[in-house]
Chain A
Amino acid sequence: ILNVEQSPQSLHVQEGDSTNFTCSFPSSNFYALHWYRWETAKSPEALFVMTLNGDEKKKGRISATLNTKEGYSYLYIKGSQPEDSATYLCGVGSNYQLIWGAGTKLIIKP
């Protein structure tokens, strides 16, 4: 069974600082990797879908990289803002469904 690990579990970051966190997964039988942002009382929102080794995607101050050979993806946030406070979910596809990590809870301190 595919196991997706996200680290750290939670993270406190000063406003204005940059940060990153990790999603790790077994590298065999990989189809795609998804990143979502889930703010409290809202729906999880898709950030990126990545399928190819070496993929890099960017959306404003947020970017992500993918290494399928070694089984990890990094999510970077540059110049953190209070609105970045959320839980960031990683889902990895390996057949007909996504397997999800437990998330990284990011708290931005003003």
Chain B
Amino acid sequence: DVKVTQSSRYLVKRTGEKVFLECVQDMDHENMFWYRQDPGLGLRLIYFSYDVKMKEKGDIPEGYSVSREKKERFSLILESASTNQTSMYLCASSPPSHRVPQYYGYTFGSGTRLTVV
């Protein structure tokens, strides 16, 4: 059964902490994505990567960075957590159609609910 695994289901961090959210996929997918989901809003893209060591900013990259050192792992980093980063974070991957990843269905992780206090 193919999988996208996110390291934590729930996470509570303090303001100012550096936070790492890990995502691992076992499908050999090139494309990986980080989204956040807030009530009443659609999923918003933070960053995506279409190859190892490649990264592209999404719609809301401020306050975040990413790392893709290996194909199967895509990490989201909150450099200095703030309360407005309290959210549900979803990781996804998809097979390559190079720069048009949306021709294939995405496989999602089950999400990390992050609370920053």
Task: Name A residues whose Cβ lies closer than 8 Å to a Cβ of B.
Answer: 4, 31-32, 34, 36, 41-46, 49, 51, 89, 91, 93, 96-103
Query: A98 to B106, alpha carbons, bound, how many Å?
Result: 10
Query: Which residue of chain B has the shortest Cβ distance to A44 in the bound complex?
Result: B108
The answer on a CB contact under 8 Å between B106 and A31 is no
Chain B nearest CB, measured from A70 CB (Å): 20
Q: How many residues of B contact A (CB 8 A)?
A: 26
The answer on a CB contact under 8 Å between A91 and B4 is no
The answer on a CB contact under 8 Å between A32 and B43 is no
Going nearest first, the 7 A-B pairs with the smallest beta carbon separation are: A93-B102, A46-B105, A100-B42, A100-B43, A43-B108, A44-B108, A43-B110
B107 within 8 A of A: yes
Query: A31 to B44, alpha carbons, bound, how many Å?
Result: 18
Chain B nearest CB, measured from A16 CB (Å): 29
Q: A100-B43, A102-B40 are in contact. Are A43 and B111 (CB under 8 A)?
A: yes
Contacts of A96 in B (CB 8 A): 48, 56, 99-101
B103 within 8 A of A: yes
The answer on a CB contact under 8 Å between A49 and B103 is yes
* 29 CB-based A-B contacts, threshold 8 Å: A34-B102, A34-B105, A34-B106, A36-B108, A41-B110, A42-B110, A43-B4, A43-B111, A44-B106, A44-B108, A49-B102, A49-B104, A91-B102, A91-B106, A93-B102, A96-B48, A96-B100, A97-B33, A97-B45, A97-B48, A97-B101, A98-B43, A98-B102, A98-B106, A99-B42, A100-B42, A100-B43, A102-B40, A102-B41
Most chain A beta-carbon neighbours within 10 Å: one of B40, B42, B108: B42
Most chain A beta-carbon neighbours within 10 Å: one of B40, B44, B105, B107: B105
